Structure 1
Amino acid sequence: MSSGAGQADPALLRLAEAAGLAPLWQDVYGRRHEVKEPVLRSMLATLGLPCASPGQIAASMGQLGSEAQAGAGAMLIATVNEAPAFRYAGSPLYTLTLEDGKQYIGRASPAGPGRVSIPAIGQAGYHSLAIGELQITLAVAPARCPSVGDLTGRRPVRPWGVAAQVYSLRRAPAGTGSSAPVWPGWESGGDFAALAVLARHAGQSGASALAISPVHAMFSADPQRYSPYAPSSRLFLNAAYIEPSIVMGAQAVSQAVGQMDPAWSCAAAQDTGRVDWHHVLPRRLKLLRRLFDNFLQHGPADLRQKFAAFRQRGGEALESHACYEALHAHHLAALGPASGWQDWPSELHDPRGPSVGAYAAAHAAEIGFHVFLQWLADSGMQLAQRHARDAGMPIGLIADLAIGTDPRGSHAWSKQGEMLAGVSVGAPPDLFQPRGQSWGLTAFSPRALRQTAYAAFIETLRAALAHAGGVRIDHILGLARMWLIPQAASPADGVYLRYPMDDMLRLLALEAWRHRAVVVGENLGTVPDGFNEALRRKGILGTSVLWFERSPETIREPDSESGRAREPEPKEAESVEAESVEAGAFVPPSRWSPYAMATPTTHDLPTITGWWAGRDLEWRGRLEQWPGEQRARQADARQHDKTALWRALLDAGCAGGPGAQPPCAAPRDAVLAFVARTPSPLAVFPLEDLLGLAEQPNLPGSGGEGEPAHPNWIQRLPVAVDEIFADADVVRGIAAIKQARRRA
C-alpha cells in the first residue's frame, strides 16, 4: 500500500466517507492508495463541508445528516413491480397519483425500523405520492433500457452503424448534387444539413444507426473553444452547426447574403483540410444576425408563431443560456479569450439577480438572437433524425453526451447550485496516462442531485435524447464515481467522489424508454468492481474497442525499481464459449462481449490505417512525449502487434494470403469484417476508417496552438457527404461489414 493519509483523523475520515469521498482507492496495477489528508481537507472544504477543527467536522456531519433527510423526501426511485420502501414515521394513509391521472388510496406497511413501503407499481413514469405532510415524486423505472433488438426487430443482417465527427462533414458545392446550397461562410465546417444528408445516405446503405460527436452548445463569441467534449452547456446545441435555410428557406437566406457588406462576401475560407473556426464562426454569426434582423421586421407569421412556441417551451433555462451568450460576448473583448462568468463584475454572477435582469431588459434583441440560434439549431437536429428514420434507420442518430461542462460556461453559470465548483474532473494515473488526467471540466454535485429530485440529470438526458434514437454517455464510469482534482493540484492528487449510481441508472432507463432510445456507455479506464455487471442488468451497452481486445499479458509498472510484473485481473466472465488465446493476442470475434457496442477505434485512438502505419507513434515522437529509447521500443511493439493482428485476421477467416507476415498496406477491409463478426448487438464504424484515413480526430495530450500541435477536432473529411457512400473503397468496406454481420 502506498503512503498517503497515514494516521489521518478518524473523524475526518468518517466525514469524508459520509460526503462520498473515498479515502482509499486501487489503481490499474492493483496497488491501494490512501488519499493524503490535505487533499481530503481541501476537497471537503471545496464541497462546502468545513473540516479545519473538530467542531467544524461535527457541524459538517450534522449538515450531511439534515441533507440526507431532506433529500429522501424529494424523490423516491423504484423499479417496476418493486415495492418502494422509504424512511417515514407518521400516518400510514397515502394517496398515489399516477402520471396518467389515476389515483389510488392505501395504507403503507411497516418495512423495518422507521421505514414503510407501499405495494409495487406496474406502470413506469413519474408519479406523485402524498403521505402525511410529504409530497414525494415517485419515479418508477423499467427494469432495463431498450435493447437494440427492441428498436430494430429481427433483421437478416445484425445491426451496424457509422460514426461521424459533425464538424468534419462537408457538402458538395451547389450544382454538383448537393441537396442544399452551400452558403458563403459554410464552405468549411460541418452543419446539420450535412448531417441530414449523411444520415439519409447511411440509412439507404443499410446502416441502423449514425453515432455523432457531441453537438452541445459551445461559446459562440469565442471560436477558439471548439473541443466538443468541453461544452458551455449540455442543455443546448452548437450554433456553429446551424444551416439557416432548413427553417428560413433559401430565398430568405439568399436575401440576407445579398445585404452583407463586400468585405464579408469576399472573406471565403480557404480549403486547407481543416476547419478554421476563428474565421468561420464569426462569419456565420454575422449572416445569422442579418437573417434574424430581417425575421424580426418581416418574418412570415407561421414562422413567428413557431419561434414563439419554441421560446415558451424553452422557459427559464433557454433564456438564461441566451443571456449568458450575450453577456459573454459583451465582456469578451475586455477580458480576453478563455474568460468566463467568474471574471465578470460580481453583480452579474447571480443569473437571477437584479443586475442580470436589468441587462436582459436593456439587451432584449441580443438575447432574442441567441434564442433564435437555438431554434434554428434544434430544427437542424430534428431534420437530421427525420432523414435517418425516413431512410430506414430503426435507431437513427446516437447522440454523444459529454462527461461534464466548462466551469466558465453557460450551464455552470445558470445552474450554480447544481454543479461542483473549485475542482476539475479527470482520471487517476493508468496504463495510458501514467500522470493522470485533468479535463478542466465540472460536473453535477451528487448532494445537489439528491436534494433537487435529480432535476439536472433528468433535464440533461432529455436534452441529449430530444432528437436521437440513442445516446452514448462519455465516461459512463462517472455515474458511479468521479475522480476530482482540487484547483492547481496534480491529477495524481485527486480523490474519488461517489455518485448515486443505482438511482441514476434507474432514471436513465426510464428516460431511455420514454424516448425509445438505446444507451451506450464508454466504460473504458479504471472500472469499479461490479460496474459492468450493473450496466448489463440495466441493458446499457458497454464499448469494445479493437485495440483493447487483447488477451491478458504482463503489465509492468512504469519506473519500477524491481522490474517485477503482475498479471492483470481477468475480465468478468462472459456467456460465450471459452477459447484458448495466447497472451497478448487479439481476442477472436466470438470472444467479444455480447453486451457491448463493437468498434475498431474511438475518436481518441488511432484509425485502422493510422495504427498500421504508426501514425500515432510518429505524432507522439514529434511532440516529444516519449524519450528516444522508449520511442524505439514502441515502434518494435507496434510491429509485434501488427503481426498479432494479422494472425487474428487469418484465424478468423477475415483475411487471406500467403504466410503469416502482415502486408505493407493496412488490411482495412479485413479489420472491418473482424469487428463486424463479433456478437455485439451493434457494431459501429467511424467514417475515418471507412475512408481509410490515417489521422485520428483527437490525440489526447497534444493540444495547444501552433506547431507541432496535433490538429484536434478540426480535420475535415476529404469527401463530401453526398459522395461518401458512392466511394469505391467505402462501398467495398460496407460490403465486407454486411457479409460479416450476416455471419455474426
Structure 2
Amino acid sequence: MTDAWGIDHEYEDAAGRHQRVPPETIAALRAVIGAPPDLSGDGPGEPGVQGRGGPGEQGTWARGRGGPAEPETLVMRRGDQVGAADLVLEDGAELRVDGALPPDLPYGYHTLRRPGEDTAHRLIVSPGRCRLPDRRAWGWAVQLYAARSRTSWGVGDLADLRRLAGWAAGHGAGFLLVNPLHATAPVVPVQPSPYYPASRRFHSPLYLRIEDVPGAAAVLDEETVARGRALNDRPGLDRDAAWRLKLAALEGVYAAAPPGGDFERWRAGRGRALEEFATWCALAERHGPSWRAWPAEYRRPDGPAVARFARDHADRLRFHAWLQWLVSRQLATAAAELPIMQDLPVGVDPDGADAWSWQDLLAEGVSVGAPADEFNAAGQDWGLPPFVPWKLRRAGYAPFAESVRAAIAASGGLRIDHVMGLFRLWWIPAGESAGRGAYVRYPAGDLLDIVALESHRAGAPVVGEDLGTVEPGVRETLAGRDLLSYRLLWFERDDPASWPERAMAAVTTHDLPTVAGLWDGGDLAEQRRLGLEPNEDGSRALRGALAAHGGLEPDAGAADAVLAAYRRLAEAPSLLLTATLDDALAAPDRPNIPGADGLRPNWRLPLPVPLEELERLPLPRELGELLSGAVRGSAKGVLGR
C-alpha cells in the first residue's frame, strides 16, 4: 500500500520476502514530507495505476493541484489536450492553442496560461524517448582522478582525459565513461567521493590542467610545475596538496591575466545559478564548507546579507565563475577527441551548494540509501538528502532538469546512478539504521520525460544503472523510454548472449571487485581485514563460473582471468560494451568498498601505472582488440555523433 504521502507501507526485499515498514518510520517520514497538495483526496493508490505506462510513475497527490495560488507543472507530449490556452515558448514566441498541443510544437520548457486563471503554469514538452546510440560501440570506464600521466599534478585531470580519449579512439573505442566530475567545496579537506558532490550542476576545478589555462605560461615557474608533478610520486592520491597548489597557481594566473569578453559572455549566459554557486564558494572559503554552520544571516541564498556579501566580494565571485568556464572549455576539448559519457549521482552533499540553494525542497532529517541485499546485509545509508516529491514538482522540476542538463553537457551520453530512484527512493529517518527505512514514491513519468527531453537536446544516449533491488515493471518502463539497461557479468546469472540489445554491458563497477581482485581472492581478504561481512559464497561462485566458462586452470594469472571475463562480455549483443582501466591493468584493488570509508583509501587509489605506460602495455591493447572485434561490422564510427 502507498499512502497519500507517497510512502510504501510494505516492500519486497532482495530475497523476495515480504516486509512491513515500522509505524515509527512512517510517522517520521510523514512529518518530514509535510502536507502534500490534495492530501484530502484518495492518495496515489497502488503502484502502476497512475502515469504514463510505468510502476508508480505518477501519484494523484503529486499533480500539485493547489488551486489558483498553486500553478501546476504540466509535463506533456505533442498532441496532448490542454484546452484553450496561451503559450509563451522558451524563445519568447507566443502561441495560442485550442485543444491539443500542436504536432510541431518545439520540445522544451514553456509557459502556459488558460483564460480566467490568475497564474501561469510551467509546461514541459518532451519527446518521451531518449536518443539511442547510432551504432554499437565499446569504451573504457575510467575514474579520472586515478588516471594520472607524468605531467599531472597528483590527480588525473582534463588534459589526461583528452590524452586518454585520443589513445582510446585510435584503438577502436567509441566513448569514455567517467566518474562524476562534479564540484566539491573549494577548501581542504577535499571530499574524495565523486558520488557525494556539493553540486550536480557545476564541475570540480581540481580537474583543471593548469598549464593549459590561458595566460598560465607567463606566470607558472619551473619550481611550481615540478612540485605539482612530484605529487605523482606519492603512493596514494593527495587531493588536498593538489588543490592547494592548483588554487595558488590559478589565483596567480587570474591576477596577472584577468579573463576577457569571451568569459563574460559565457558567464552572463549562465545566469543566477552560476552567481549563486560562486557566492557559495566564496562563503565556504570564509566560513567553512557546511552552510548549516555559517552565521545565520548567510544560511539562505536569498537573504539580504548574502546579497551584500556578493557585492562586497564581487571579484572573488568572478574568480570562481572563471574556474567553471575553464573547466567547461577543457572538458569540451577532451570531448572533441571522443564522446564523454558522464555519471549522475543520486543526490548531493547536505552541506553543499545545491542543498543551500534548494534547501526548501529537500527533506530535512532524512537520508537515502538501500535496504539489505545479498552484497550488503545491513543495508546502506548514503548520507544524501532526498527531494520531497511534491515540492520538487511545485518547483517545476528545475533542480532535476538543471542537474541532468549539466551532466549530459559533454554530449557523449549520461549514466544515471541508481535509476530506480526516479521511481522510488529508500528514505532513512535520522538516527535510524539503514534497514529501518521505507520507500517513497516519485513522479517517475515526469522525471523520465525530462531525461528524454535533455537526451534529445544533447543528442546523447542515456544509461540507467538498474542494479540491486528492481521492482517489477521498472526495466520495462525504462526500455519503453529508450533508456539503456545496465548489465554486469558479476550480477547476471544468464548467459551474456541472452542479455538485451538495449543495454550497456560491463564486467564490474567501481563498487565491485576487479577481475584480478576476485580471481586471486585479494578482494575477499581485504574485506575480512576490514571487519566487513563479505559474501564468501557468492564470490567463490563467481570465481568458479569464471574459471569454468573461461577454461582457466586454478593457477592461471590475473591477465588470463581478465581476458576470460571480457571474452564472456564480448558475447553480449548489447549496444554498448565497457571495460574498466583497472581491469586493463589487472589491478587487484577496486576504487571503492561500500561501508569502508575511513578503513581504506576509498576513491584515493591511482592506477598502478601512468598513462604513458598504460598505452604501451599488451593487456589494454588485447582488450581493445577483443571488444573492437565484438562490435566490428555494426559499429563504424563513434557513439552519439
Say yes or no: TM over 0.5.
Answer: yes
Task: Please name the residue that 1:299 is paired with.
Answer: none
How many residues get paired?
612
User: 2:28 pairs with 36, 42, 55, which one?
Assistant: 42
Deviation of 1:433 after TM superposition, in Å, equals: 1.2
Q: Which amino acid aligns with 1:421?
A: E
The answer on whether the counterparts of 1:240 and 1:284 sit within 8 Å (CA) in structure 2 is yes
Partner of 1:300: none
Counterpart residue number, 2:308: 358
Of residues 500, 525, 529, the one that matches 1:593 is 500
1:267 deviates by: 10
Question: Structure 2: which amino acid aligns with 1:490?
Answer: S
- 1:198 corresponds to which of 164, 173, 176: 164
User: In 1, Cα distance between the equivalents of 2:360 and 2:112?
Assistant: 26
The residue number in structure 1 matching 2:199 is 233
Structure 1 residue aligned with 2:330, among 380, 385, 401? 380
Match of 2:133 in 1: 148
User: Equivalent of 2:254, from 273, 292, 296?
Assistant: 292
Aligned to 1:463: 406
- Offset at 1:223? 2.7
Q: Within the alignment, does 1:623 sit opposite 2:504 as a pair?
A: no
Corresponding residue number in structure 1 for 2:294: 344
Q: What are the within-5 Å matches in structure 2 for residues 258-337 of structure 1?
A: 268-269=230-231, 271-296=233-258, 303-332=259-288
Query: What does residue 57 of structure 2 align with?
Result: none
The offset of 1:329, in angstroms, is 1.8
- Structure 2 counterpart of 1:610: 517
Deviation at residue 476 of structure 1 after TM alignment: 0.6
Amino acid at match of 2:518: W
Cα distance between partner residues in 2 of 1:381 and 1:447: 35
- SS of residue paired to 1:68: coil
Contact 1:205 1:725 (C-alpha < 8 Å) held by counterparts? no
Q: Distance in 2 between matches of 1:168 and 1:492?
A: 33
- TM-score for the superposition, normalised by structure 2: 0.89
Contact 2:62/2:390, CA 8 A, preserved across alignment? no
Q: Which moved more, 1:733-742 or 1:489-498?
A: 733-742
**Aligned partner of 1:130: which letter?**
R
Q: Secondary structure at the match of 1:248?
A: coil
The answer as to 2:189 corresponding to 1:223 is yes
Q: How many Å apart are 1:509 and its aligned residue?
A: 0.7
Letter in 2 for 1:161: G
Equivalent residues in 2 for 1:240-639 (5 A)? 240-252=206-218, 255-257=219-221, 268-269=230-231, 271-296=233-258, 303-332=259-288, 340-388=290-338, 396-550=339-493, 587-626=494-533, 634=536, 638-639=539-540
**Contact 2:344–2:417 under 8 Å retained in 1:** yes
User: 1:222 and 1:493 mapped to 2: Cα distance?
Assistant: 34
The 8 Å contact of residues 228 and 245 in structure 2, kept in 1 or not, is answered as no
1:570 aligns with none
- Equivalent in the alignment of 1:690: 584
Q: Which moved more, 1:528-537 or 1:306-315?
A: 306-315
Q: Quick one: distance in 2 between partners of 1:243 and 1:743?
A: 37
Q: Offset of 1:738 from its aligned partner? A: 2.0
Q: Which residue in 1 is equivalent to 2:112?
A: 129
Contact 2:72 2:121 in 1 (8 A): yes
Picking from 624, 647, 651, the partner of 2:548 is 647
Answering whether residue 632 of structure 2 is matched by residue 733 of structure 1, we say: no
Residue 725 of structure 1 deviates from its aligned partner by 3.2
Match of 2:9 in 1: 23
Which secondary structure does the structure 2 equivalent of 1:603 belong to?
coil
Check the 8 A contact 1:677/1:741 in 2, yes or no.
no
Alignment CA distance shift 1:726-1:218 (3 Å):
same
SS at match of 1:425: strand
Secondary structure, aligned partner of 1:220: coil
One-letter amino acid matched to 1:341: W
Q: Deviations over 1:143-191 (max 9, x none)?
A: 4111112xx4xxxxx411111101011123xxxxxxxxx3xxx431111
Let me know the Cα RMSD of the aligned residues: 2.9
CA contact (8 A) 1:273 1:717 kept: no
Task: Percent identity, please.
Answer: 35
SS of the aligned residue for 1:69 comes to: coil
Q: Taking structure 1 as the reference length, what is the TM-score of the superposition?
A: 0.77
Indicate if the aligned counterparts of 2:587 and 2:608 stay in contact, CA closer than 8 A. Answer: no
| Alignment deviations for residues 96-127 of structure 1 (CA, whole Å, 9 cap, x no partner) | 5556777654433xxxxxxxx65666653344
Residue 295 of structure 1 and its aligned partner are, at CA, apart by 2.3
- Structure number with larger C-alpha Rg: 1
Task: Choose which of 72, 81, 104 in structure 2 pairs with 1:84.
Answer: 81
User: Counterparts of 2:123 and 2:278 in 1: how far apart (Å)?
Assistant: 33
Structure 2 residue ranges without an equivalent (≥5): 44-59, 635-641
**Are the equivalent residues in 1 in contact too, given 2:370–2:381 (CA < 8 A)?**
yes
What's the CA shift for 1:435?
1.1
Query: Contact 1:83–1:118 at 8 Å: present in 2 too?
Result: yes
1:139 aligns with 2:124: yes
The verdict on how the C-alpha distance between 1:305 and 1:40 changes in structure 2, with shifts beyond 3 A counting, is same
Q: Distance in 2 between matches of 1:739 and 1:399?
A: 25
| Equivalent residues of 2:139, 2:176 under 8 A apart | yes
1:461–1:511 CA contact under 8 A, matched in 2: yes
Report the counterpart of residue 46 of structure 2 in structure 1.
Answer: none
Q: C-alpha separation between the residues in 2 aligned to 1:283 and 1:538?
A: 45
Per-residue CA deviation, residues 670-698 of structure 1 (Å, 9 max, x unaligned), is 22121022010000111111121111111
Determine if contact 2:514/2:587 at 8 Å carries over to the other structure.
yes
2:563 match: 669
* Distance in structure 2 (CA, Å) of the matches to 1:724 and 1:168: 13
Letter in 2 for 1:94: A
Shift of residue 31 of structure 1? 2.2
Report deviation, 1:710. Answer: 2.2
Measure, in 2, the Cα distance between the counterparts of 1:642 and 1:472: 28
How far 1:289 moved relative to its partner? 1.3
Structure 1: unaligned runs, 5 residues or longer = 1-12, 51-56, 86-91, 109-116, 153-157, 173-181, 297-302, 333-338, 389-395, 551-586, 651-656
Contact 1:202/1:725 (<8 A) preserved = no
Give the drift of 1:221.
0.3
Q: Secondary structure at the match of 1:269?
A: helix
Distance 1:540 1:100, change over 3 A: same
Q: Distance in 2 between matches of 1:496 and 1:466?
A: 31
Q: Is the 8 A contact 2:215 2:257 kept in 1?
A: no
Residues 64-113 of structure 1 show CA distances to partners (whole Å, capped at 9, x for unaligned) of 69943359843322234x4235xxxxxx53345556777654433xxxxx
SS at match of 1:21: coil
Q: Which range is displaced more, 243-252 or 692-701? A: 243-252
- Deviation of 1:136 (Å): 3.2
Paired amino acid for 1:147: L
Give the Cα separation in 2 of the matches to 1:727 and 1:662: 22
8 Å contact 1:418–1:456 — kept in the other structure? no
Q: Give the whole-Å Cα distance in 2 for the aligned partners of 1:313 and 1:376.
A: 15
Q: Secondary structure at the match of 1:40?
A: helix
Q: 1:122 to 1:619 in 2, by over 3 A?
A: same
